[in-house]
Each structure stands twice: as C-alpha cells, then as structure tokens.
Chains A and B, each alone.
Chain A
Amino acid sequence: MGGRRSFFVVTMMAFGFAFLYVPILSMIVYSFNESRLVTVWAGFSTRWYAALLHNEQLLDAARLSLRIAVVNATGATLLGTLAGLALARFGQFRGRALLSGMVTAPLVMPEVITGLSLLLLFVALEQMIGWPAGRGVTTITIAHITFSMAYVAVVMQSRLAVLDESLEEAAMDLGARPVKVFFLITLPIVLPAVLAGWLLAFTLSWDDLVISSFVAGPGSSTLPIVVFSKVRLGVSPEVNALATILVLIVALGIVVAGVYLQRQERRRERDVQQALAARG
C-alpha cells in the first residue's frame, strides 16, 4: 500500500516537473541547434548566439525594454510606497476606502481593458493638451507605472501593517520629526520590501505584452512585442537563444538570492544562540 502510494506521489511529481520544465529545456536544447528550422535537429552549434549579437532589432528592443523597466520600477516604487504608506499609516482619512479600492483595481482588471482605456486616455489627452505627442516610450512607461504601482502599493501596505508602530513613535519621542522618522527608521527597516517591490515592478514591465501593444507607437517596440511578432512569422532560433539567456539570468538571480537568504538565516540563528548564551 505504502509502496504504491509513494509510486503515485513520485509519478505525479515527475509529471508536474516535466510539465513545468520540459518546454523550457527543449527551448534551451534547440537554441544550440545548427539548423535554421527550429523543429529539425541538425547538430550542436552556438551560431544563433553569435547571430543574436548582431541582430540590432532584438538588441535595441532589449535595451528599450530594460530602460522602460528601470524607469517604471523606480516610478512605481516611489508612488506605490507613498500609496502603501497612506493606507497603512494615515488612519481613517476621507476617501481611504476609495483609495484602497482604486489602488488595488489594476490587480484584478483584465489587461486588455487597462490597455484599451489607457490608449483612449492618451489619444484624448493628445487632442486636448497636445501631450503626450503620439504613442511611444513615454506612453508605455506611464502605462506600466499605472499598473505596477498597484503591486508595489500592496507589498508596501502589507509590510508596513506588520511593522511595530511603536518604533516610529519611539523615534518621534526621542525628538525626530515625522519626515526624519520616515527616512531614518521606517525606510531602512522596510528597505527589503521596497527592493522586492522594485524587482516586482521591473519584472512586470519587462515581460508585459498586452498593455504595451495598446500604447506602443512606431519605433517603440519593446522586447516582448518584437519577440511576439517574430514568433508569429515562425519561431526563429535566435529567439530561442535570447530566451535561453533570459532563463539563465533569472535562474542565476534566484540562486544568488537563495544562497544570500540562507546565509542570513544561519547568521540569525547563530546570533540568537549567542544571545541566549549571554543571557542576563
């Protein structure tokens, strides 16, 4: 009975992992394919990686996406942190429920609707005040900030909600004005959450296709837009190579973060042991 059960568990786990990782693995394998035809294996080669380095269209798109993602992440973190702070710390001000609802709305709103409504807004704005002139990098960045800010706000609100408020009161009690309290106490303590929010906003912007498609203009094709349009004409081995590089970067990031967190945890445990030993 137990043997059969463990057999069942192992099989399910194998299927689960296969489901998740076989597509990625096959993509990595085919990125080293000699053939131009993605589905035909013709021997090992790194020629598509070399070709990628000379594909200005993809590289430009990657650079553009990176730039938008960084600006977006920074802007969204700034606004999202302020919104989270207002929701978690300013008590019951007028319109709190409204702000809370509005901030989290982009989380549940279908992307198509967000994209369409932003497009309509930009067109109307251009007609009324002449800004933003046409669709392009600016509109994409604004659109990305609009929806990724919501994620940052939620992260910050939940972090601040569990932050002991007496820490801020203690700082004020010791003579620090509220603005100083924020920069000397609140911000340093919640900095990991701020960084997490920044990375989240960065990732959301980096791989957003739907909303970008709505508000993009000529000459502002982000990486997801370029990849998607290329794939529609048939999968190119260069895209495989690009995707493999991205997967490796992400995997590396996860490993580094994992090792760092584990070390932190170990150090913390050691500190606690030390504190217990030195009790009194």
Chain B
Amino acid sequence: MSNTRPEQRPEAGPDGTEPYVRLERLTKKFGEFVAVDDVTLNIRRGEIFCLLGASGCGKTTLLRMLAGFEQPTSGSIRIDGVDVTALPPYERPVNMMFQSYALFPHMTVEQNVAFGLRQDRVPRAAIRTRVAAMLELVRMREFARRKPHQLSGGQRQRVALARSLVKQPKLLLLDEPLAALDKKLRQHTQFELINIQETLGVTFVVVTHDQEEAMTLATRIGVMNHGEIIQVGTPTDIYEYPNSRFVADFIGSVNLFEGRLIEDEPDYVRVAAPELGGVFHVGHGVSAAPGATVWVALRPEKIQISRTAPDGAGDNRVAGVVSEIAYLGDQSVYLVRLATGRQVRVTQPNIVRQSSAGRLTWDEPVWLSWEPGSPVVVTQ
C-alpha cells in the first residue's frame, strides 16, 4: 500500500470506536498447510462485507472460524466487544447460511425456521409469530408446511436465509449464497438479499468467488489470496484503485504494463513502458523512488480507439493495428497489436447501432489514447 489514493478510508470505525467485528492476527494451519495467514480485519456494524477470492484462498476457512466450526491456530475474534474465539458454534451470536443450504430434510419449512428458536427455549407463541414474520419477509409463508425436497432451488435458498436470520444474529455468515442458483435468478436474488439486509440491519459477511456478486452485494470487499487479505475497500476502491497487480488482474480485466518511473511529481507521474513503446502520464502521485520498476494498470473500457491521431502530442497515446474483434452486442472487444508486438485489450460500448459500414475491421491501423486519470500505477 505505497500509493497515495484519493479515496483511502480509515480501517477503524467511522467514529473511532472499536469495530463491530474484529479479527486480530488470525491464523489457521492444517498440518503444514497455512489456510489463513495472519489476517487482521475490521467489519463495521450493518455492512455487507464480501470475502472474495479464488477457491482454496482461505476465505471459507475464515468464515468457518467466525462460525466456530474451526478453531484458529492463533489470533482472536471479537464480536461486539466480546471475545468469542473459544466459544463453540452453539454459543456464538452468529448464524450461517450454508452453500448447500443444509435444510433439515425431515422437517417442514416451518420447523426448519423454528429450530433455532426452539433450541433457545423461546415460548411457543413467540416462536410462531417470529417464524411467520420471517417467512413473510422471504415470501415463503404459503410453503410453510412443505418439506425441503418439495421446493425449488430458489425457494430453498429463501428458507435457508429465513432460518439463519430468525434468531436475529449479530453477524450472518453466507457461504456462496447464490452459487447454486441459475444466472437470472441469481441477479434477482442479489437485490432481494440487499433489501432484506437493509430491512433488518444485520451485519453480513459473504464468501464468494464471483466478483460480480461481490461488486453488487458488498459495501466493502476483502480480496484474499493464499490465506492473506490483499486489499480491503469499497467495490469502487478495489476496481479503480487496486493496490497490487494481483487485485488489478483478479477483478475485471486489465492491461498491465511494466515500466520505469521517469518523472515523479506530487500530482502526476510519468512511466516509460517499453512494451507500450511510449510513456504513461498518470494523474496521481506515487511514493516510489525515481527509476523504480512499477506497473501501470489500464482497464480496457478506459481506452479510446480512433482512426485518426488524437489532438495534442506526447504521452498517453499509441498506434496499433486491430488484430481481433469480438462483437458482444452491448459492447465490442478489440485486440490491438502495437508496434512492439504487445496486444492491448480495448472495449467500446456500442452506443450507435452498428452497421458494416464505418465499423472498424481487422488489420485496420488505429490510435489508442486515454486520459491521465485512467491508468493506475501499482508498485507490487
């Protein structure tokens, strides 16, 4: 984190108080394998925090430690000021929605949702009202008497959500909550999940490998790799100001250029990139020594493509030849080969209905250009 970024937010709570959930130096080893490596993380009350990473990056282990199914090798977990590190799952103010939903097959929807309240010996009448209210919230009231195998995937997902929310946990953990749904249903359910979270104000921690899901749901995202948290930030932070090549590459697609810092001013830097055959002029400062090796990340949608050379002169422009075109309907993807042989990925929204005339074609010479505010420099 050596860059100076305009939207860098403090890690602690907004008013300087102790964060709602605090993971401190949490490590989990399975034999020699380090699944979670010295993770320190703060989660605020009422937010949807997404742990995002490829499979095997330790995000599920982290979630299972929050739930109490795995004991950390070292470190501590505090929830709302209480150290829960040594508490078993049945004594934690935390509930979990499982990836498989884990609905009890021998119980009806109603009994499934009531199960947690029964364990707490809530009076019968109170159980009935709370279960009914929760089923109403997830629009499953008419299915109260059904068994899980009589429900569709989307319905099961809503029952699992109701069951994990009915005890009003301080923290709700969701393990790949939408992975088992088909794409249309998933997009619809994402917004439903956000609505329910806003209605109840429960703090959510979501584990997902789907970056689109993380971007839609999350107030903040923690990107994980090899058991470590690489970057924590809002979806905008993560996408527009990645702190490393890994994050830039993992979220969305990106053109990465290795280069040398040739000019370092507080409000701009210039990076000579041999692969580009030109110079990047980037509109933010970097704390790195002049001459240092850095990487410039440039998103495909932030590049202008044109037949004629852009006005002005100098940096942030390069000539090339269109080598591949993919027409996706809403946008087109162009692969442009530069004089250095490097391919650059450019996407352009298809604002005007396309016809064969006037469209860029293969082997056509073009100019690529971008604004100083478009690329971002990462130092690791």
Chain A: residues with CB nearer than 8 A to chain B?
A: 164, 166-167, 169-177, 180, 184-185, 188-189, 268, 271-272, 274-276, 278-280
> 19 pairs across A/B with beta carbons < 8 Å?
A164-B100, A164-B102, A166-B102, A167-B102, A167-B105, A169-B69, A170-B104, A171-B115, A172-B90, A174-B95, A174-B167, A185-B104, A188-B106, A189-B104, A189-B105, A268-B149, A274-B150, A276-B152, A279-B152
Q: Nearest residue in A to B95 (C-beta to C-beta)?
A: A173
| Binary contact readout B142-156 vs A (1 if CB under 8 angstroms, 0 otherwise) | 010001011110110
A175 touches B102 (CB 8 A): no
| Binary contact readout B31-67 vs A (1 if CB under 8 angstroms, 0 otherwise) | 0000000000000000000000000000000000001
B116 contacts the other chain (Cβ, under 8 Å)? yes
Tell me whether chain A's interface is mostly helix, strand or loop, or mixed: helix
Contact (A176, B90) CB under 8 Å given A166-B98, A170-B102, A171-B104? yes
B150 touches A271 (CB 8 A): yes
Contact (A275, B152) CB under 8 Å given A173-B95, A189-B105? yes
Partner of A278, one of B96, B99, B100, B152: B152
CB distance from B10 to the nearest CB of A (A): 32
CB distance from B51 to the nearest CB of A (A): 18
B155 touches A280 (CB 8 A): yes
Q: Cα distance A173–B149 when bound, in Å? A: 22
Please name all residues of chain B whose beta carbon is closer than 8 Å to the beta carbon of A184 when the two chains form the complex.
115
Q: Nearest residue in A to B98 (C-beta to C-beta)?
A: A166
Q: Cα distance A280–B69 when bound, in Å? A: 32
Partner of A170, one of B96, B120, B154: B96
Please name all residues of chain A whose beta carbon is closer than 8 Å to the beta carbon of B150 when the two chains form the complex.
271-272, 274-275
Contact (A280, B119) CB under 8 Å given A167-B104, A188-B106? no
A177 touches B90 (CB 8 A): yes
B89 contacts the other chain (Cβ, under 8 Å)? yes
Please name all residues of chain A whose beta carbon is closer than 8 Å to the beta carbon of B106 when the two chains form the complex.
188-189
Q: Nearest residue in A to B173 (C-beta to C-beta)?
A: A173
Contact (A175, B149) CB under 8 Å given A169-B98, A170-B102? no
B170 contacts the other chain (Cβ, under 8 Å)? no
B163 contacts the other chain (Cβ, under 8 Å)? yes
Q: Nearest residue in B to A174 (C-beta to C-beta)?
A: B116
Q: Cα distance A188–B89 when bound, in Å? A: 22
Please name all residues of chain A whose beta carbon is closer than 8 Å to the beta carbon of B116 when the two chains form the complex.
174-175
Q: Cα distance A170–B99 when bound, in Å? A: 11
Q: Cα distance A188–B105 when bound, in Å? A: 10
Please name all residues of chain B whose beta carbon is closer than 8 Å to the beta carbon of A272 when the two chains form the complex.
149-150
A175 touches B104 (CB 8 A): no
CB distance from B233 to the nearest CB of A (A): 29
Q: Nearest residue in A to B120 (C-beta to C-beta)?
A: A175
Please name all residues of chain B whose beta carbon is closer than 8 Å to the beta carbon of A174 when the two chains form the complex.
90, 95, 115-116, 119, 163-164, 167
Contact (A180, B119) CB under 8 Å given A166-B102, A174-B167, A185-B104? yes
Q: Cα distance A170–B101 when bound, in Å? A: 9
Partner of B89, one of A173, A185, A189, A274: A173
Other than the given A173-B96, A275-B155, A279-B152, 19 more pairs (CB < 8 A) read A164-B100, A164-B102, A166-B98, A169-B69, A169-B89, A170-B104, A171-B115, A173-B69, A173-B94, A173-B95, A174-B119, A174-B163, A176-B119, A184-B115, A189-B105, A189-B106, A278-B143, A278-B155, A280-B155
B149 touches A166 (CB 8 A): no
Partner of B98, one of A170, A175, A176, A271: A170
CB distance from B261 to the nearest CB of A (A): 50
Q: Cα distance A54–B143 when bound, in Å? A: 59
List of 10 A-B pairs having minimum Cβ-Cβ separation, nearest first: A174-B116, A175-B119, A170-B102, A166-B102, A279-B152, A271-B150, A166-B98, A172-B89, A188-B106, A175-B90
Q: Nearest residue in A to B151 (C-beta to C-beta)?
A: A275
Contact (A275, B95) CB under 8 Å given A172-B90, A189-B106? no
Please name all residues of chain B whose beta carbon is closer than 8 Å to the beta carbon of A171 when the two chains form the complex.
104, 115
Please name all residues of chain A whose beta carbon is closer than 8 Å to the beta carbon of B94 when the two chains form the complex.
173
CB distance from A57 to the nearest CB of B (A): 46
Please name all residues of chain B whose beta carbon is closer than 8 Å to the beta carbon of A274 when the two chains form the complex.
150
B155 touches A173 (CB 8 A): no
Q: Cα distance A272–B151 when bound, in Å? A: 8
CB distance from A102 to the nearest CB of B (A): 27
Please name all residues of chain A whose beta carbon is closer than 8 Å to the beta carbon of B119 when the two chains form the complex.
174-176, 180
Q: Nearest residue in A to B119 (C-beta to C-beta)?
A: A175
Q: Cα distance A180–B90 when bound, in Å? A: 11
CB distance from A29 to the nearest CB of B (A): 46
Residue among A173, A185, A272 with max Cβ neighbours from chain B (10 Å): A173
CB distance from A185 to the nearest CB of B (A): 6
Q: Nearest residue in A to B163 (C-beta to C-beta)?
A: A174
